[in-house]
Structure 1
Amino acid sequence: MTSDASGANPVDQPGAGVEPLRYSAFTHDPAGGNPAGIVLDASGLDAAAMLAVAARIGYSETAFVTGRDDAARRFKVRYFSPLDEVAFCGHATIALAVALAERLGPGELVLDTPAGEIAVATGVDDGGAVLATLTSVPARSRPASDAELDATLKALGWSADDLDPALPPHVAFAGNDHLVLAAASRARLADLDYDFDGLTEVMRRHAWTTVHLVWRESPEHFHARDPFPVGGVVEDPATGAAAAAFGGYLRALGLVTAPARITIRQGEDMGRPSDLLIDVDPESERTRVTGQAVPIG
């Protein structure tokens, strides 16, 4: 039996032998969307083992089911990037819900996450694809401080003139925090070449999960990019948690005056196009995020 460079036996490494499922979320094409790992039975894994599995997979997030009651359709879930645990991940939630619906049948699911209880409705569309809609924890949004903004713009290599003055910088939350910055043009959004270590330091200082960069094509259609250096990933191709937080941002700014469905196109500039649908109601603190997911390989 072989050993790794450290002299340890591979089967003795945390998470060795766990074979996760691999799904891509917010797409109908495995070559698009955001890949997520899924471990349907992680009851025997501790945090170190789950982190090791997530690092081995290398996707931005892996969802681990650490407890389950199939009859009640209730599941305890934790999420890990290759570098750390996160309280909530939207695309891995959509991927997990689709995988569960394919095995248990469509219907309502409840996920107990470190961020709180997440209800997910699953169903089948006319083409036979499974769709999942998660309902976020209460979302909120506050203006970003000058210090937060200045440090982030420096790391991005952007200036204040690159921002859309009609969509002010905010820190938005729907399970974890995301800095929302609106680009003044599609070209500015497309030209993303940032200081990885510099942005990592800023994000760790403020405990942000991603920086949610958006461009408004119309009131109902946005484009987005999400640097995720704190997770060891240059960019996330589809970020359901940021989309949920963005719903709270739109509500906080009064940009949604009646129940509305907003389309977010993400991942296009990195060759993994993704489509996220968010439902925002000015009378509700929660955002609903809808997408499908497909197995990879």
Structure 2
Amino acid sequence: MTQNSAAEVLRYTAFSADPRGGNPAGVVLDASGLDGAAMLAVAAELGYSESAFLTGRYEPAGAGSRTGADSPDDAAPAPVRGYTIRYFSPKAEVPFCGHATVATALALAERDGPGELVFSTAAGPVPVTVAREGGELRATLTSVEPHVARIAPDDLAEALAALDWPAADLDPALPPRITYAGARHLVLAAATRERLADLSYDFARLETLMHRLDLTTIQLVWRAAPDVFHVRDPFPVGGVVEDPATGAAAAAFGAYLRAEGLAPDSAVLTLHQGEDMGRPGTLTVELRAGDPRVRVSGTGTRIDA
């Protein structure tokens, strides 16, 4: 496709400083010449769980300007940079993707320097701060306002059947919920690490249920400590069996923990994902008292083509 050949496609991994870890994403910093079909074709050719496309610049409403993350205190304020962004899995467009947001922010920081960004997504504006910490760039996104809902018993039974998880294998301390922070995810908590590690599911059956419930992933979790979790995210609606590190689901999970009283209003949580796939990554989730939004941060690095 002629349109595709004109777009420079970068490859980054998010939530790991090792290109062999974390979640890889395609990043197109200038997708102004691509339509939706062309973006989907790029994402399908890459085969990553999601790819991000910057379609233009804009002035964030009320953003003003702030001191750049790496600027001395007496430096001139750095403007907040605003971009419109779209996300595609190999099969469809999605409203929001955390790891591709982090990857894109890091790519922009390497090109233009660290600082404050705002991405205009289909789910709403998502601010991102990129700072240099100990020689590494680290991006922190702030989610749209989240919400949490119960799942109908019949839908829960169907999800467990598709996963081949007996209900007795669930952790009763972490109830199943549908949670949203830019995209919808079903949280299911495993009672043991062994249950989480044993993932073999009916792809078509789970995909059908997820389309009906408008779910982006199923977030499977195991609580290793009060503030440490191991997570996995089946993603059949995106055309891949499993997502290696899922920033959108991490934000939604933070909202879930707070809504269910399973984490304090102010907390820093660590999520380990990708270990069972051989692509380990670490996502840091921050809850702040008085702010319903959830912050998700991580490192990343460019992947050589």
Could you say whether these structures have the same fold, taking a TM-score greater than 0.5 normalized by the shorter chain as the test?
Answer: yes
CA-to-aligned-CA distance 1:222-271 (integer Å, 9 cap, x gap) = 00000000000000000000000001101110122241100000000010
Question: Where do 1:110-125 residues align within 5 Å?
Answer: 110-125=118-133
Conservation of the 8 A alpha-carbon contact between 1:110 and 1:120: yes
* Alignment-derived partner of residue 169 in structure 1: 176
Residue 77 of structure 1 aligns to a residue in which SS? strand
What are the within-5 Å matches in structure 2 for residues 268-287 of structure 1? 268-287=275-294
CA contact 1:140–1:285 (8 Å) conserved in 2: no
Measure, in 2, the Cα distance between the counterparts of 1:37 and 1:116: 21
Corresponding position of 2:247: 240
Match of 1:41 in 2: 30
2:15 corresponds to which residue? 26
Q: Equivalents in 1 of 2:45, 2:164: separation in Å?
A: 32
Alignment of 1:111-190 (within 5 A): 111-126=119-134, 128-190=135-197
TM-score, L = length of structure 2: 0.91
Aligned partner of 2:219 among 212, 217, 237:
212
* 1:18–1:53 contact (8 Å) kept in structure 2: no
Measured against aligned partners, the alpha-carbon deviations of 1:143-179 in whole angstroms (never above 9, x if no partner) come to 2110120110000000110100000000000001000
**Any idea what the Cα deviations from partners look like across 1:76-110, whole Å, max 9, x if unmatched?**
00000000000000000000001111111111101
Conserved? CA contact 1:184–1:215, under 8 Å: yes
**What is the CA–CA distance in structure 1 between the aligned matches of 2:43 and 2:24, rounded to whole Å?**
12
Verify: 1:261 aligned to 2:268, yes or no. yes
In structure 2, distance between residues paired with 1:290 and 1:138: 17
Give the deviation of 1:285 after TM superposition: 1.2
| 1:227 to 2:219 alignment | no
Cα offsets for 1:11-70 (capped at 9, x unmatched): 44x524433000000001000000000000001111111101110111000000000259
Instruction: Tell me whether 1:203 sits opposite 2:213 in the alignment.
Output: no
Matched residue pairs, number? 285
Contact 1:54 1:80 in 2 (8 A): yes
SS at match of 2:291: coil
Residue 282 of structure 1: how far off its partner (Å)? 4.5
Match of 1:74 in 2: 82
> Take 2:228 and 2:144, find their aligned partners in 1: how far apart are those partners?
23
* Amino acid of the structure 1 residue aligned with 2:43: A
Q: TM-score, normalised by structure 1?
A: 0.94
Match of 1:50 among 39, 48, 51: 39
Report the alpha carbon displacement of residue 287 of structure 1 after superposing the two structures with TM: 0.4
Unpaired segments of 5 or more residues in structure 1?
1-10
Amino acid at match of 2:182: G
Counterpart residue type for residue 67 of structure 1: G
Q: Which residue of 2 aligns with 1:3?
A: none
Unaligned runs of 5+ in 2: 60-78
Q: Deviations over 1:100-148 (max 9, x none)?
A: 111111111011010100000110001x110000000011111211012
Distance in structure 2 (CA, Å) of the matches to 1:19 and 1:284: 37
Q: For 2:289 and 2:200, locate their aligned partners in 1 and report how far apart those are by CA, in whole Å.
A: 35
